[in-house]
Amino acid sequence: MAEESWTWSTTQVIPSESGAGKRILDEILQQLGSQDWGTRDIFGVHLAMEEALVNAIKHGNRCDASKSIQVVCRISPRRMFVEIRDEGQGFNPECVPDCTNPENLEIPSGRGVLLMRSFMSKVEYSGKGNCVVMIKERGEEDAA
């Protein structure tokens, strides 16, 4: 990634509880709004981050209150970077069943990964699979 002029950043370690995930998500969405990001981009970031945080809490740390999640976020006028790392064993995202295949429509898994990939510009997982990095490029209609 080229050198970016970040206007806001945070690094937080949160407990494995949904309330903590909601607080940091609300803070990040407020920052996007204060930098005049458009509602479409904010909606996409909201959905993708909510899925990533739920996955880290529920699947990564298995709701274990003794484990935590690290969230790193940086925002610029044109780009948003977020890294969410849990203390779980990780997973291989390529092994998640394609939830759009007819035989998988009744399976309640894989939708979060699909949503993150649909709404963010870039989604990558660490080799271990317990860290997701997502980048959102600001939409042209919302660019400053």
Distance of CA 32 to the CA centre of its chain: 14
CB 90 within 8 A of CB 129: yes
Domain that holds residue 118: 8-142
Residue 58's CATH number: 3.30.565.10
**Total domains in the fold of the chain:** 1
Residues 94-108 pLDDT 10s? 777 676 667 756 666
- Cβ neighbour number for residue 69 with a 10 Å cutoff: 25
50 φ/ψ angles, rounded to the nearest 5 degrees: -60, -45
Please give the pLDDT value at position 93: 81
Is 3 among the domain residues? no
Residue 110 belongs to a domain: yes
* Tens digits of residue pLDDT in 46-57: 999 999 999 999
In a domain, 58, yes or no: yes
What pTM was estimated for this model as a whole? 0.88
Percent of the chain with pLDDT over 90: 70
Specify the range with the lowest mean pLDDT, choosing from 26-30, 43-47, 127-131: 127-131
Is residue 5 within 8 Å of 75, Cβ to Cβ? no
45 within domain boundaries: yes
Residue 1 lies in a domain: no
Average pLDDT, the chain: 89
